[in-house]
Structure 1
Amino acid sequence: MNANNMQSRGDLGSRGKRGGAASADHDQDSIDLGELLAILWRRKWLIAAFVVLGTTIATLAGTQVQKRYTATAALMLEPLNEQVVNLQQVVAGLTGDAPALATQVRLLTARDQIARVMDDMSLFEDPEFNPALDPANQPSNLDYAIGGPIEMVLEMLPENLVIAAGLAKEKLPVLATEAPILNRQAAVDRFARNFEVRLDDPSYVMLVSFTSPDPQKAADIANRVTQIYVEDQINSKSAATTKAASWLDDRLAALSSEVEAAERAVEKFRAENDIVSTRDVTLNDQQLADLNQQLIESRAELAAAQATLRLARDMRGGGAGLDTMAEVLNSPVIIALRGQETDLLRRENELKQQFGPRHPMIQQIATEKQQLYSKISAEVARIAANLSNQVEVIGTRVATLESELDKAKGTTVKDRDAEIKLRELERQADASRALYEQFLQRSKETREQQKLIEADAKILSVAAPPDRPSTAGPRLFGAVGFAGSLVVGSLLSLLLERRDQGLRSSRQIERLLGQQPLALVPRLDRLRRNQKPHQYLVAKPLSAYTEAIRSVLTTLKLSSVDNPPKVILVTSSLPQEGKSTFVTSLATFAARSQKKVILVDLDLRHPSVARELGRPVAAGIVEFMVGDRTLDEVVQHDPATGLDFLPVKRQTANPTDLLDSQKMRLLIETLRQTYDYVFLDCAPVMSVTDSRVAALLADRVVFCVRWSKTPKDAVSLSFDTLRQTNVPIGGIVVTQVDVKKHAQYGYGDVAQYYGKYQDYYVN
């Protein structure tokens, strides 16, 4: 095989792999709406049957449903955010948070509340609620897990089947003494199934609804439920308030006596211990506090004076002057003397500049300066002596305060014990007084509240008897049945399409294998008796079948313009896919196109070429390969088609070795040199390995897939096997296409138009 063939083989294989991977990814990541609609259209009769059946059943079920009416009353809940009194109430009002509102809903739907309403309205004697009084109620031996319309359907089924499916269980025997209790519970259950309370979010409105076959009864029950609810709130608050007021009165009498006794005990203790207080502080405490404050201030003043005196002595002992001390600097006398000093220095400086340093006036100023300095020193000495005297005076005052403080402490210690006892008595009196005042306030609030008791809800609107039923009528049942059956039918159609493993369209083949098919060959349903498809091709050269064969041969020729394929092998995944019929027709068409053609049967296990051509066989390719006959002796000619063919007469023990032999390669090369086209009919890929070996002899391999029959897995596995063998795949051909069904399915490929353009074909 030449290099061009090998290159073509590699290119086709790589393109197939890339195309297959890309198409597979596209198939997984996207949904083709057109194909989905086409699937539904193909199964339109199945969907229509489901729609008709489902709509009819639903409509009939709707006519059997008893008409029921729902009446609704509205309650407005009123959270008491603003009260007449601001203190805590004896009976708290309804808060406006979600849990409180939900609690009111649960309160209205509680079984005890329902039973009270039923007792009030004598509903336990109503056959609508009491199953024992309902003549239409036939007791069942089963307790169904699902109620409503589904229970009606379950009652039609055999009891054993329903029990086995877990949808019901047998009822236990009921004692005669328990029957009234069970009937009462069943009546409450019936009431509860038709009773609904819901909040009209986000408002504080609560809707109370009841459903009954009688519209007037539905309205009466809804209204009575709301009335009992409001009455219960008022009665419960009134009872609680009355009870609280009585208890508060008794308690106030006892507290009044306790407060009076406690206050008398406080005053008596004050008088016995001579305790006089000024704004809760005794005289001894006030004196002790004053002395302590004075002592603290005097000690601070003493410490400051001692520090100043110590600093002055240290400066004098070190030979330094006291001129820099704050007491000296701030002295008025020193400040005046320093001012005089400044004047003398200024005058001295002026005279020196005017008369010189030896002038008599300058000598006089020096004498004055000396006298001034003596005054400053004397004043500094006086300030230092004054510091010592100040320290002694302050120290004496501190000692006096400490003595007086000790005396005051002695007196205060005696008062402390009395004050402790006094405070205890005062606390008892204050606690009794506060408790008494609190109870007195609560008592007044409670008495005022008795006049202002209101329910936390009021009836916003009463229920009126409805004029239209709330149950769904036949039209709504029919609409639901139509929609449901349409969905079920569509899903079933998609499921059936999913389970259908056959290939029908070019798009499906391209997604699966990564290649567009060469042609979709129509199935011939109008053959004359004993007429073969290749004979039909000869008789109808302008038919759609012939056009499909022509398309395959033309595409193979154009696959390599410079070096068109001459040896073409035809195979398939499984038997009975029409490969032998197709290759015979392809060879016949090539022979009728004035080409020299030979058809070689390489299906050594189940040969079919001679049978397809209807020719007797004396010897075949096996005889030639073992040397019993020459090539001219085994090659036969079919005058009807104009082609030569090499059949199989005798089988061989090892067909694969024969196909892989050097002599087989020489035979194919000899035929290549002799004929324009050499067509090879080979065994299916999935059956044996012969086709993989024989494919290496060909320039191109044509892979046949039977329309709607060949499983996708078999096609994909066989095609992958050929690609892994690195054989030159020329394309895929879909055989035995049902043109009418294909056109109805609307796949959008060439076979869809065979029926639409019949004027172009002579079938």
Structure 2
Amino acid sequence: MLQTRITHPREIESPTQESASLEQTVSSAIALIGRQYPVIIFVMCLCIGLAGVYLLTAPKRYTGTAVLLIDSRKMQGLQTQQATGADSSIDSAMVDSQVEVLKSETIATNVIKQLHLLDSPEFTDDEAGLLTSISNLFSWMFPEQRPSEAALMRIAIGKVLGYLSIKRVGLSYVIEISYQSRSPDEAARIANAVAEGYINDSLESKYQASRRAAVWLQDRLKELRTEASTAERAVVDFKAKNNIVDAGGRLLTEQQLAEINSSLTQARAQRAEAQAKLERITAILNSDDGDSKVILNDLATVTDTMNNPVITKLRQTYLDYAARESDWSNRYGPTHLAVVNLRNQMREIRHSITDELRRTAEVYKSDLAIAKAREESSQKSLNDTITLSNGTNQAQIALRDLESNAQSARALSDNFLQLYMVSVQQQSFPITEARVITQASNAPNKTSPKTTLILLATLIGGAILAGGVAVLLDMMDRVFRTVSQVEQYLRTSCLASIPTIGSEQNQGLAGHTLLSRAGRLLARRRKQPQPAAPKSVPAAASGPPLGKSEPRSKQPQPHGDRLLTANQSVGRYVINSPFSRFAEGFRSIKLACDLSSYGSANKVVGITSGLPNEGKSTVSEALAQTVAQSGARTLLIDGDIRNPSLTARLAPSAHAGLIDVVIGRVDWTDAVWIDPQTNLHFMPCVVTSRFSNSSDVLASPQMERLFQNLREHYDRIILDLSPLAPVIDVRATGALADSYILVVEWAKAKVDILERVLSETPIVRERMLGAILNKVNMAVMSRYDIYSAGYYRNRYYKRYGYVD
């Protein structure tokens, strides 16, 4: 329904901010989409259009991918030994280093030269951007010289490296080489060329390193050979000078001394070995404290015991019994009879091993005595031989030094010769750790532009952008669109929502005209004879008594020249279409005025607005017609002295009005016009010139006495006032109006302006009966008031006979 709940302004409190539930959030989002869907659709279409233009104009690029493997296995060619560095495995840092090598300008330069890319305009021309296209239009005015070969090479290198992508696959030794080009064949060729170029560069680098090493080794080898020959010649000269003759490279006395010394050394070793064995087995026998584990462990330190089959068999049997005893103890307990028997058997075996060790100890004593006798004999022979060879040894000392120098020089020369041969072989058979495992194919693989990704990003980005624009526009929309906004910001009741009933063809009627259907209805009514003016309805018929009745002799008489005939006025639409939403809204306003009159003399109701052209004059007329139709004595006064638009509409031929009555020029009964159909009385405001002191007139004692007189003759007085923002006339009506109704134009009245003017006009704020939301587009309003969307549907009103 059009009317809203009627609440006194003092009862309305500021709404508290509560956390919105999920349902409210979703409802608010749906309402926002419903309000701003044209903007959302426009932004989405714009984004999709831009994406489509980009997809149509962006050059297509294809990607060729070759896969390279850095093989970590050791590779040897022709069974030759590699250098020390080649034996080490390839680590992760080395693979990352090879990725950077693939991105180097050296590889790019080799690829450009191998494929003759300088002959292709794709690698020598600048990118076809907007600025480049503009500059090309004027290139004929400023001729440029062709870039040099080096400059073209730099451009081509930049292009190749710009579209080249090298990446390592995880933590493996595999490297992907991808290249983007406008041609799939070109992309595959360049990707394969980069891989081959890397392999060739690796081989070339190893070849150069081996060649430099071989040259250095050759020079060093010549020096070492000369040093070795000189040392060997010095040895021969010393032997000849000292008459040293050797047999098989040694002197005879030295050979004999060496043999005796070797025999003595062997005898000493045997004696030491026999003595060590005897001491060890004696220590084992002396340490026998009953611990079988200690004896078995010590037996392993004596070699002969391990070769003794008796001890080996006893030891194996003991270990088997020990394992069985441990197992049975865990199963049956350590006191079980079988476990005790095993322990007894193990004790007997240990005694047998000990006896066998004593017999072995006696054998070791005999061996030790024999070894000592042999050592003494060898020592005596050695002393005799040393006495004979002392003279020869003096010269042999110097000879050995010379021979040692010669041998060292010769060994070093031989080592360098081997390294030189390896280096020569590496030059003739170079190897590399890299190999291509997948060749790039020329199959179409378009990677740019990514149509699906771009469209998906466009939809997501466009939705976000459209939502942001919609939220921004909704936040900037600081106008009144719903009843709740009026009550929230103005802190008063919204008495009614008055719908618009036609297009703005007549600006003098506050932007409202009748619908074509209403026009046809009024045309039919004008053809019929006008009914007589209705008689006064008793006060009981229209509700509680609003005032005393006045004798008919003192009422203004309906003279023919002062009859209202403005049947085309929107204000009469409440009379001509009583079952419309428009009329129902004004009945709601009338009811609010009637209810507010209980307990107080609320006869004079001032109608005002924040700004001009919000429909306050039309609301005043329609409300007055509604009240008059109910039978109440109603007077409509045009109190807008600055711009009396109501007078121009209802009584354009009036010669006397409110100003003339106040100054005493005419009596108020002679200035009143009467509507013969509803018996509405109207007091115009005739202004012949611009009026600057209108507020003084409204605040004058004469105006106050006039209204006191009118209160005695009428039940309800509707006072059409000027707007609040442009002029201050409403502030001077505190002694005239009992209450005020604020007209708010739907979707145009600014929140900030109304809050400001109401704060500057406290008299209106204190006596405000309520506000009216005027010129409402019901179809659009349902998108803003999501909680009362069904309220604006026509089918609910049609069921009760209401029409628009």
TM-score, length of structure 1 as denominator length: 0.59
Q: Does 2:66 match 1:73?
A: yes
Q: 2:579 aligns with which of 521, 538, 542?
A: 542
Distance in 2 between the 1:232 and 1:752 partners? 82
Distance in 1 between the 2:122 and 2:570 partners? 77
Provide the secondary structure at the position in 1 that maps to 2:770. Answer: strand
Q: Give matches, 1:555-634, under 5 Å.
A: 555-558=592-595, 562-563=599-600, 565-614=602-651, 616-634=653-671
**Residues 104/668 of structure 1: CA separation in 2 closer, same or farther (3 Å cut):** farther
How far does residue 615 in structure 1 lie from its aligned partner after superposition? Answer: 6.7
Letter of the 1:722 partner, please give it: T
8 Å Cα contact 1:74/1:206 also seen in 2: yes
Letter of the 1:174 partner, please give it: E
8 Å Cα contact 1:569/1:695 also seen in 2: no
**Residues 647/235 of structure 1: CA separation in 2 closer, same or farther (3 Å cut):** same
Distance in 1 between the 2:33 and 2:468 partners? 9
How far does residue 499 in structure 1 lie from its aligned partner after superposition? Answer: 5.7
8 Å Cα contact 2:758/2:765 also seen in 1: no
How far does residue 654 in structure 1 lie from its aligned partner after superposition? Answer: 1.9
Letter of the 1:74 partner, please give it: V
Question: Match for residue 803 of structure 2?
Answer: 762
- State the structure with bigger RCO (CA 8 A, min sep 6), 1 or 2: 1
How far does residue 524 in structure 1 lie from its aligned partner after superposition? Answer: 1.8
Cα displacement string for residues 620-669 of structure 1 (whole angstroms, at most 9, x for unaligned residues): 33233333344444444333332233332247552222323344444444
Q: Give matches, 1:214-613, under 5 Å.
A: 214-240=183-209, 243-244=212-213, 247=216, 455=432, 457-472=434-449, 502-510=479-487, 512-515=489-492, 517-525=494-502, 526=515, 527-528=518-519, 531-558=568-595, 562-563=599-600, 565-613=602-650
Question: Match for residue 743 of structure 2?
Answer: 704
Distance in 2 between the 1:460 and 1:245 partners? 33
Q: 2:161 aligns with which of 187, 192, 204?
A: 192
8 Å Cα contact 1:542/1:762 also seen in 2: yes
Distance in 1 between the 2:46 and 2:219 partners? 80
How far does residue 590 in structure 1 lie from its aligned partner after superposition? Answer: 1.5
Cα displacement string for residues 511-531 of structure 1 (whole angstroms, at most 9, x for unaligned residues): 544556322211121153861
Cα displacement string for residues 82-117 of structure 1 (whole angstroms, at most 9, x for unaligned residues): x9x9999599987535xx766544432333421211
How far does residue 488 in structure 1 lie from its aligned partner after superposition? Answer: 6.0
Distance in 1 between the 2:657 and 2:99 partners? 95
Question: Match for residue 683 of structure 1?
Answer: 722
**Residues 621/59 of structure 1: CA separation in 2 closer, same or farther (3 Å cut):** closer
Question: Match for residue 109 of structure 1?
Answer: 103
8 Å Cα contact 1:71/1:215 also seen in 2: yes
**Residues 550/453 of structure 1: CA separation in 2 closer, same or farther (3 Å cut):** farther
Cα displacement string for residues 90-146 of structure 1 (whole angstroms, at most 9, x for unaligned residues): 99987535xx76654443233342121121233333455455xxxxxxxxxxx7xxx
8 Å Cα contact 2:639/2:721 also seen in 1: yes
Cα displacement string for residues 660-711 of structure 1 (whole angstroms, at most 9, x for unaligned residues): 3344444444444543322221111111111123256433321112122333
What RMSD over aligned residues (CA atoms) do the two structures have, in Å?
Answer: 5.0
8 Å Cα contact 1:739/1:751 also seen in 2: no
8 Å Cα contact 2:210/2:423 also seen in 1: no
How far does residue 617 in structure 1 lie from its aligned partner after superposition? Answer: 3.1
Distance in 2 between the 1:724 and 1:630 partners? 30
Q: Which moved more, 1:195-204 or 1:67-76?
A: 195-204
Q: Does 2:119 match 1:125?
A: yes
Distance in 1 between the 2:186 and 2:732 partners? 89
**Residues 674/450 of structure 1: CA separation in 2 closer, same or farther (3 Å cut):** farther
8 Å Cα contact 1:517/1:731 also seen in 2: yes
Provide the secondary structure at the position in 2 that maps to 1:648. Answer: coil
Q: Does 2:654 match 1:654?
A: no
**Residues 92/45 of structure 1: CA separation in 2 closer, same or farther (3 Å cut):** same
Question: Match for residue 178 of structure 2?
Answer: 209
Distance in 2 between the 1:121 and 1:617 partners? 100
Letter of the 1:689 partner, please give it: I
How far does residue 225 in structure 1 lie from its aligned partner after superposition? Answer: 1.0
8 Å Cα contact 2:492/2:768 also seen in 1: no
**Residues 195/718 of structure 1: CA separation in 2 closer, same or farther (3 Å cut):** same
Provide the secondary structure at the position in 2 that maps to 1:222. Answer: helix
**Residues 70/586 of structure 1: CA separation in 2 closer, same or farther (3 Å cut):** same
Question: Match for residue 175 of structure 1?
Answer: 145
8 Å Cα contact 1:601/1:609 also seen in 2: yes
Distance in 1 between the 2:89 and 2:214 partners? 17
Distance in 2 between the 1:120 and 1:544 partners? 86
Distance in 2 between the 1:518 and 1:8 partners? 11
Letter of the 1:206 partner, please give it: I
Distance in 2 between the 1:539 and 1:557 partners? 23
Q: 1:728 aligns with which of 767, 788, 794?
A: 767
**Residues 756/247 of structure 1: CA separation in 2 closer, same or farther (3 Å cut):** farther
Letter of the 1:704 partner, please give it: V
How far does residue 536 in structure 1 lie from its aligned partner after superposition? Answer: 1.2
Letter of the 1:207 partner, please give it: E
Distance in 2 between the 1:592 and 1:613 partners? 17
**Residues 560/623 of structure 1: CA separation in 2 closer, same or farther (3 Å cut):** closer
Letter of the 2:618 partner, please give it: T
Distance in 2 between the 1:563 and 1:255 partners? 133
TM-score, length of structure 2 as denominator length: 0.56
Provide the secondary structure at the position in 2 that maps to 1:617. Answer: coil
Provide the secondary structure at the position in 1 that maps to 2:761. Answer: helix
How far does residue 234 in structure 1 lie from its aligned partner after superposition? Answer: 4.1
Distance in 2 between the 1:725 and 1:589 partners? 23
Question: Match for residue 245 of structure 2?
Answer: none
Provide the secondary structure at the position in 2 that maps to 1:715. Answer: helix
Provide the secondary structure at the position in 1 that maps to 2:744. Answer: strand
Letter of the 2:109 partner, please give it: A
8 Å Cα contact 1:74/1:207 also seen in 2: yes
Provide the secondary structure at the position in 1 that maps to 2:494. Answer: coil
**Residues 64/611 of structure 1: CA separation in 2 closer, same or farther (3 Å cut):** closer
Cα displacement string for residues 385-433 of structure 1 (whole angstroms, at most 9, x for unaligned residues): xxxxxxxxxxxxxxxxxxxxxxxxxxxxxxxxxxxxxxxxxxxxxxxx9
Distance in 2 between the 1:655 and 1:704 partners? 21
Distance in 1 between the 2:489 and 2:140 partners? 56
8 Å Cα contact 1:59/1:481 also seen in 2: no
How far does residue 51 in structure 1 lie from its aligned partner after superposition? Answer: 5.3
8 Å Cα contact 2:782/2:789 also seen in 1: no
Distance in 2 between the 1:194 and 1:66 partners? 14
The unaligned stretches of length 5 or more in structure 2 are 1-6, 232-407, 503-514, 524-566
Distance in 2 between the 1:446 and 1:498 partners? 86
How far does residue 534 in structure 1 lie from its aligned partner after superposition? Answer: 2.0
Provide the secondary structure at the position in 2 that maps to 1:518. Answer: strand
Percent of pairs with identical residues: 26
**Residues 480/677 of structure 1: CA separation in 2 closer, same or farther (3 Å cut):** same
**Residues 121/159 of structure 1: CA separation in 2 closer, same or farther (3 Å cut):** closer
Distance in 2 between the 1:755 and 1:520 partners? 14
Question: Match for residue 407 of structure 1?
Answer: none
8 Å Cα contact 1:573/1:718 also seen in 2: yes
8 Å Cα contact 2:493/2:769 also seen in 1: no
The unaligned stretches of length 5 or more in structure 1 are 1-6, 132-142, 164-168, 262-432
